[in-house]
């Protein structure tokens, strides 16, 4: 029995045999003196076939996941029509006059390398997408079958170096127990799709997992990012018992999903959901979400050739707000940059985009983009409880400037006779340590805070949250991060304001007791976790949790904090996996 530590990519426990997912290597030869016109026509035919296949994959993804995750394949379709890439191919074809296969692959690999060289996680993911599409087209040109899983006959854990979105979606889910990859992170496509499919996944486990024998029994603990190879029967029994316990608790929690989360002594935080589109809104309502703590508006901007219009945004926001009626919906203004780029928005290259012109910083220098979104949001607010939130705030001046644009849009709409809701709350995400440290100053200027623990953790610890090598540092259970969270909540309460949390920590069972103890007013998480966290909160006493949180803040390590909660709150430990 051997334990391999990876990155926690998708919560859950999977136990089963290894299926090593390996594609046969494409053999691409070169044939000289070919007619460029004929070869170009072959490529056009292959691209058309690829678009048809991608459309089928997209439709399958829509059925199995949701719109925001399926949109990955819209980007794939766009890649088959990328004018710049195809122009490179045509020029090289005219120059070399060989068969199309090596030329198309060479250009795609060069394009992918350019993206990967930008040292940016978003572009690295796009790089993988380019190669995914390139391999699809090459298989069509060469007449090679698409699926490498013909040997998958029994429910198994898929082990691979990495998995493309196409690989993940095309698998027969009735035969997939979970995913384990040598590469990847919590933000890789495989991880995102695994969470959407409700499957356990561990990424960044290293090349050691690629040598696991096919058919060997392994355990995936997606919540802890652990792979246990060739476990003994006692370990298997322990994990199976825990998995069944978690399943039963989830089933029971769903029965009470639409009941409020009130602690034994009467403290009632709001439990909301993070969503990115209408299908996510419907799912959140079904799981008992009491609103939206984070509406990611990037879904309207990504994987398309041009900026969405005001009317497009208005219709999309209106459709989402209608799903929630009078429940609060916190709309985050455009958070582009860092690991999210727009192909049609020309941005200057940056050494470190995560610390560059992104999110609110970008909106403030592009008021044309910012005002279009704000106008659409204000128009959609009529009859609903919309709140507007600015991401990546670092200074008071940024908040004041952003609010000026909100007021300017209000004045424009008034003059045009277009209705909008009055008294919309305006808040900020606290995800930069500077904002957390100065929360007592910022609290005078905003109506609420929402803590983004993913970025707050990596910026506080100077550790890239997508890097498996420092994943242990970029952990929101770090005492330093918890202290910042405490200070932000206290600062908002000082002014009679409220603080929510839309980072991953809000959906962590072990964190719920601490956050209740710190007085967090709103929890926002992925829809499936809503009933689980609600059920857990109902078992707690806020005064007891306050004492627990104070004790946790004196601990020195992440492990000490987690162990403290496990010992003192068995109900949280029971659903940890």
Q: Which residues does residue 19 pair with via DSSP β-bridges, in sequence order?
A: 158
Q: Read off the tokens for 309.
A: 């219009």
Structural domains in the chain plus CATH codes: 2-23+148-234 (3.50.30.10), 36-142 (1.10.274.10), 260-574 (3.20.20.60)
Q: Which of 108, 180, 363, 502 is catalytic?
A: 502
What is the Cα–Cα distance from 61 to 165, expressed in whole angstroms? 9
Reported in sequence order, the residue ranges of 504-546 that DSSP labels E, i.e. its strands, are: 522-525
Helix (H) or strand (E) holding 563: helix 558-568
Q: Which of 458, 451, 513 is nearest to 484 (CA)?
A: 451
Q: Are 526 and 197 in contact (CB under 8 A)?
A: no
Number of residues written out for the chain: 577
Beta-carbon contacts of 434 under 8 Å, excluding residues fewer than 6 positions away, are 394, 395
Q: DSSP 3-state assignment of 446?
A: coil
Q: For helices 100-116 and 121-142, give the axis angle rounded to 10 degrees.
A: 170
Rounded to 5°, angle at Cα 189 from 187 and 193: 105
Q: Read off the tokens for 307.
A: 């900026």
Q: For helices 511-518 and 479-494, give the axis angle rounded to 10 degrees.
A: 30
The pLDDT score that the predictor gives to residue 87 is 92
What is the Cα–Cα distance from 144 to 424, expressed in whole angstroms? 57
What is the Cα–Cα distance from 170 to 8, expressed in whole angstroms? 23
Indicate the burial class of 326 (C-beta count within 10 angstroms; 0-12, 13-18, 19 or more): exposed
217-221 and 13-20 as β-strands: parallel, antiparallel, unpaired? Answer: antiparallel
DSSP 522: E
The pLDDT score that the predictor gives to residue 468 is 63
The pLDDT score that the predictor gives to residue 316 is 94
Q: Which of 108, 180, 189, 384 is catalytic?
A: 189
Catalytic: 472?
Answer: no
End-to-end CA distance of the chain: 20
226-229 and 2-5 as β-strands: parallel, antiparallel, unpaired? Answer: antiparallel
Q: Read off the tokens for 246.
A: 């978690």
Q: DSSP 3-state assignment of 549?
A: helix
The pLDDT score that the predictor gives to residue 121 is 57
What is the Cα–Cα distance from 416 to 171, expressed in whole angstroms? 52
The pLDDT score that the predictor gives to residue 185 is 64
What is the Cα–Cα distance from 277 to 298, expressed in whole angstroms? 10
Q: What are phi and psi of 556, to 5 degrees?
A: -100, -25
What is the Cα–Cα distance from 99 to 499, expressed in whole angstroms? 61
Whole-Å CA distances, 165 to 54, 221, 223, 233: 11, 22, 21, 34
448-451 and 425-430 as β-strands: parallel, antiparallel, unpaired? Answer: parallel
DSSP track, 335-367 = --BTTB--TTS-----S-GGGSS-HHHHHHH-H
What is the Cα–Cα distance from 137 to 223, expressed in whole angstroms? 36
Buried b (16+ CB within 10 A) or exposed e, 67-103: ebbbbbbbbbbbbbebeebbebbeebbeebebbbbbb
The pLDDT score that the predictor gives to residue 305 is 72
DSSP track, 232-290 = -HHHHHHHHHHHHHHHHHHHHHHHTTTS----TTS---EEEEEESSHHHHHHHHHTT--
pLDDT tens, N- to C-terminus, the chain (577 residues): 899 988 888 888 999 999 998 876 777 888 988 998 999 999 999 999 989 888 887 877 777 666 666 777 877 888 898 888 899 999 999 999 999 999 999 999 998 888 777 655 556 667 778 888 998 898 888 887 656 666 788 999 999 888 776 677 677 778 889 999 988 766 566 676 677 677 889 988 889 999 999 999 999 998 888 999 999 999 999 999 988 888 898 899 999 999 999 999 999 999 999 998 888 899 999 999 999 999 999 888 876 778 899 999 999 999 999 999 999 999 999 988 655 566 667 767 666 667 878 889 999 999 999 999 999 999 999 999 999 999 999 999 999 999 999 999 999 999 999 999 989 999 999 999 999 999 999 999 999 999 999 889 989 998 876 666 776 788 899 999 999 999 999 999 999 999 999 988 999 999 999 999 999 999 999 898 999 999 999 999 999 999 999 999 999 999 999 999 999 999 999 887 6
CB atoms within 10 A of CB 405: 19
Q: Are 314 and 379 in contact (CB under 8 A)?
A: yes
Q: What are phi and psi of 91, to 5 degrees?
A: -65, -40
Catalytic: 363?
Answer: no
């Amino acid at each position: 029995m051997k334990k391999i530590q990876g990155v926690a990519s998708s919560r859950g426990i999977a136990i089963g045999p290894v299926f090593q997912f390996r594609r046969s290597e494409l053999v691409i030869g070169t044939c000289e003196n070919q007619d460029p016109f004929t070869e170009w026509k072959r490529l056009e035919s292959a691209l058309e076939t690829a678009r048809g296949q991608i459309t089928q994959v997209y439709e399958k993804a829509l059925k199995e996941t949701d719109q925001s995750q399926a949109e990955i394949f819209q980007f794939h379709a766009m890649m088959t029509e990328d004018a710049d890439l195809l122009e490179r191919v045509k020029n090289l074809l005219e120059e070399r006059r060989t068969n199309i296969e090596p030329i198309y692959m060479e250009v795609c690999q060069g394009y992918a390398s350019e993206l990967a060289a930008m040292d940016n996680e978003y572009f690295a993911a796009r790089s993988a997408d380019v190669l995914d599409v390139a391999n699809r087209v090459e298989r069509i040109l060469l007449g090679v079958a698409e699926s490498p899983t013909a040997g998958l006959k029994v429910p198994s854990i898929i082990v691979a170096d990495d998995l493309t979105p196409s690989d993940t979606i095309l698998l027969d889910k009735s035969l997939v127990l979970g995913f384990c990859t040598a590469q990847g992170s919590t933000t890789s496509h495989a991880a995102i799709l695994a969470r959407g499919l409700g499957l356990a996944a561990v990424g960044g486990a290293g090349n050691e997992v690629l040598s696991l024998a096919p058919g060997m029994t392994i355990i995936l603990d997606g919540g802890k990012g652990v792979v246990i190879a060739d476990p003994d029967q006692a370990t298997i029994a322990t994990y199976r018992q825990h998995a069944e316990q978690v399943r039963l608790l989830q089933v029971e929690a769903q029965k009470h999903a639409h009941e409020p989360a009130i602690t034994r002594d009467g403290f009632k935080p709001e439990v909301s959901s993070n969503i990115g589109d209408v299908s996510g809104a419907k799912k959140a309502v079904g799981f008992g979400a009491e609103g939206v703590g984070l509406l990611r508006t990037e879904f309207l901007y990504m994987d398309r050739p041009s900026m969405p219009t005001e009317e497009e945004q208005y219709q999309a926001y209106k459709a989402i707000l209608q799903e929630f009626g009078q429940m609060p919906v916190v709309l985050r203004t455009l958070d582009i940059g860092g690991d999210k780029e727009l192909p049609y928005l020309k941005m200057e290259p940056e050494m470190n985009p995560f610390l560059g012109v992104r999110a609110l910083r970008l909106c403030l220098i592009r008021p044309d983009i910012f005002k279009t979104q704000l106008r659409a949001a204000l128009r959609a607010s009529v009859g609903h409880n919309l709140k507007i939130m600015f991401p990546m705030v670092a200074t008071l001046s940024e908040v004041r400037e952003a609010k000026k644009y909100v007021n300017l849009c209000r004045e424009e709409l008034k003059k045009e006779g277009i209705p909008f809701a009055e008294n919309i709350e305006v808040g900020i995400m606290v995800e930069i340590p500077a904002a957390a440290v100065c929360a007592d100053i910022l609290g005078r200027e905003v109506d609420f805070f929402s803590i983004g623990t993913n970025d707050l953790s990596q910026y506080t610890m100077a550790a890239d949250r997508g890097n498996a090598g420092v994943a242990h540092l970029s952990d929101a259970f770090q005492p330093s991060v918890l202290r910042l969270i405490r200070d932000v909540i206290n600062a908002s309460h000082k002014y009679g304001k409220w603080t929510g949390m839309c980072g991953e920590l809000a959906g962590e069972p072990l964190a719920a007791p601490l956050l209740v103890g710190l007085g967090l007013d709103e929890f926002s998480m992925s829809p499936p976790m809503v009933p689980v966290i609600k059920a857990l909160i109902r078992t707690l006493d806020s005064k007891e949790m306050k004492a627990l949180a104070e004790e946790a803040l004196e601990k020195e390590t992440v492990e000490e904090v987690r162990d403290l909660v496990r010992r003192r709150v068995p109900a949280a430990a029971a659903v940890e996996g």
